Amino acid sequence: MNHIRIYFLFVFVCLAFISSFGQKDFYQLRHQFSEADTLRGMLSPARTCYDVKHYHLNIKVDPENKTIAGYVDMTFDAVEEFLTLQVDLFSNMKIDKVLRMDNEQELETKRRFNAVFINMGKRIGKGENKTIRIFYSGTPIEARNAPWDGGLVWEKDEQNRDWIGVACEGDGASLWWPNKDHLSDEPDSMHIWITIPEELTCVSNGQFLGIEPVGENELMYLWKVTYPINNYNVTLNIGHYSHFKDVYINPEGKELDLDYYVLDYNLEKAKKHFKQVKPTLACFEHYFGEYPFWKDGYALVETPYLGMEHQGAIAYGNKYLPGYLGGGIPSDMDFDYIIVHETGHEYFGNSISCNDHAEMWIHESFTTYMEALFVECTQGYEDAIRYLNYQRRRVQNKEPIVGPMDVNWTQWKSSDQYYKGAWVLHTLRHAINDDDLWFSILKEFHSEYRIKNIDSKAFFDFVNQKTGKNYDAFFEQYLFYASIPEFEYQLKKKGKRYLLKYKWNTDVEEFDMPLAVRVGEERVMLKPTHTWQRAILNIQGKHDFDILDHLFLINQKKK
């Protein structure tokens, strides 16, 4: 039985398993997933049989015709013996041919939706290292509304000159170059060589190696990434860029190169505005350790769309305004949201990466919470809480934060993986009720898993280990169910004192999160469960009792 037949049997078994799940399977009960979804999202035998070590992307971009042509060298180790492997490339793009580089044999390919199965000609033994060269060409899909809608962005700048970018998180890098398009397998390094008309400049990820002339009117820009990189983080930025440099020096005296690429007419504006980068890096280094991609440096690149966390070449399109295009944050705060948020993604999303889009909260919830930590670092704790409360109105509780596995789910109907997820972390901080411990958890977690792929359980287990308490029910309620905990209580006068009765109403029966309340002038930690509990309060009146819900994401029900 070959790998393709094994794969479809594997898909059938997995879909049957999915359909047997219980109430938590919000998405499976509301959506019908297709074979194309599983081809894109599942780790089938045709994917798990090999581990990508390096990509060399060598393409020509034609702005006039909006086309791409070239090849990708994919070097991999065989994890198991196999004959057929799967790569991914959108069906509107053409695989021209595939060569095995050790013997220059042209290989047979079969397409199924956006997946391409490559027959290696003879079986590859476990442990072998091979390289294939995939020649391809075509007109990539255009993004209708980047970065939320994936594709190439073919725009004109204010002087009607070509200005090109790409944003493909969710849709996947395979919309513009062939690769093993699954979050779990990042190459250890990458070369990116892009040929463009000579009047333009191309900025990509990592270290700039130089420029080589190609023919009479074209130039090839050479870039190298020395760290593992998410496929969707691989980028190209083409335009009339001016470049300026700066250096961030951390508390240990280490120097980090800062490179800024902006449209030539925005150069002086950018030199002033991008001064925000250094304090942002300093705050995040304080909480999480040094910038993860030190050897490749840090860069901002002006783009014709709002922003994206492209590793070492952050897409910046916030028009040099505070907040989110001038709004989106409290009116008295003036930091640039895109600089702060996308820099945060260098830690969560680019350094620590999830294995499946279902768990994108690892990228987005942590990074959104990092915005509040930036405010706490620069303005103080009370302002950080005010910032979080400003965002709380965007929490919708319509669907679980964690989506369905193995189908590359990107169709969330709310932004809860951002704002609700940040509030989950804020809530966890105050449930733990020990800031020294909380901040050590954050820093040590990033140190432990930096530049690695993880699943949610890695964080759950880390918190449990560091706190000595089992928070599994906490995570299950907040991440795998749409509803949030309801604190039900009754406060009645009993003689000269007051009787407080209280309990949790949640989907998860074992949920037992501590809750901070104000009793007179004191902060008291209650320990509610699913059964009614009682406490006698020595207070003058009901006004002396408050639930500190600015510290916890909960609903209240007063009897």
Q: pLDDT digit string (tens) for 242-279?
A: 999 999 999 999 999 999 999 999 999 999 999 999 99
Residue type, 24: K
The per-residue pLDDT of the chain, averaged, comes to 95
Residue type, 255: E
pLDDT for the residue 298: 98
**What pLDDT sits at residue 6?**
43
> How far from 40 is each of 86, 91, 236, CA to CA, in Å?
10, 12, 23
Q: Is the dihedral of CA 53, 59, 65, 66 positive or negative?
A: positive
pLDDT tens-place string over residues 196-232: 999 999 999 999 999 999 988 999 999 999 999 999 9
> Is 271-291+307-480 in the same CATH topology as 46-239?
no
For 491-546, the pLDDT digits (tens) are 999 999 999 999 999 999 999 999 999 999 999 999 999 999 999 999 999 999 99
The answer to whether 283 touches 374, Cβ cutoff 8 Å, is yes
CATH code assigned to 46-239: 2.60.40.1730
Nearest to 477 by CA among 413, 518, 528, 550: 528
Q: What is the mean pLDDT of residues 424-428?
A: 98
Dihedrals phi, psi of 329, to nearest 5 degrees: -135, 165
Which pLDDT score, from 0 to 100, does residue 27 have? 76
Which residues are within 8 A (CB) of 73 and not within 5 positions of it... i.e. 6 or more apart? 54, 55, 56, 58, 101, 131, 132, 133, 134
Using CA atoms of 22, 25, 30, 33 in order, give the dihedral in degrees to the nearest 10.
-110
Percent of the chain with pLDDT over 70: 95
CATH fold, domain 271-291+307-480, is: Neutral Protease; domain 2 (1.10.390)
pLDDT at 7 over 80: no
* Residue of 157, 142, 146 lying closest to 200 (CA atoms): 157
- Are the beta carbons of 282 and 295 closer than 8 angstroms? no
Q: How far apart are CA 248 and CA 278, in angstroms?
A: 6
Least confident of 155-169, 174-188, 310-324, 407-421: 407-421
Please count the CA atoms within 13 angstroms of the CA of 299 that sit on its side-chain side.
27
pLDDT of residue 409: 87
For residues 400-411, give the mean pLDDT.
93
- Hey, where are the domains in the chain? 3-38, 46-239, 271-291+307-480, 486-558
Give the torsion sign (CA, 261, 262, 264, 266). negative
Give the number of other CB atoms < 10 A from CB of residue 273.
Answer: 21
Q: What is the pLDDT of residue 473?
A: 98
Residue 23 has pLDDT above 50, yes or no: no
Instruction: Check: pTM over 0.85? Answer yes or no.
Output: yes
pLDDT at 28: 66
Q: Is the torsion defined by CA of 71, 77, 83, 89 positive or negative?
A: negative
Task: Calculate the CA 173 to chain-centre distance.
Answer: 14
Q: Is the pLDDT of residue 12 over 50?
A: no
User: Exposed, middle or buried: residue 517 (CB in 10 Å: 0-12, 13-18, 19+)?
Assistant: buried
Whole-number Cα distances in Å, 337 to 74, 136, 276, 521: 36, 38, 11, 36
Distance between first and last Cα of the chain: 64
Task: Give the closest residue to 339 by CA, choosing from 358, 362, 315, 360.
Answer: 315
Tens-place pLDDT, residues 40-68: 999 999 999 999 999 999 999 999 999 99
Average pLDDT estimate for 131-160: 97
Peptide bond between residue 147 and the one before it cis (omega within 30 degrees of 0): yes
Mean pLDDT of 325-330: 96
Q: In angstroms, rounded to a whole number, what is the distance separating the alpha carbons of residues 463 and 470?
A: 8
Q: What local confidence, expressed as pLDDT, does residue 24 receive?
A: 65
8 A C-beta contact, residue 312 and residue 293: yes
Q: What is the pLDDT of residue 26?
A: 76
Name 219's Cβ contacts closer than 8 Å, sequence gap at least 6.
Answer: 195, 196, 197, 198, 211, 212, 213
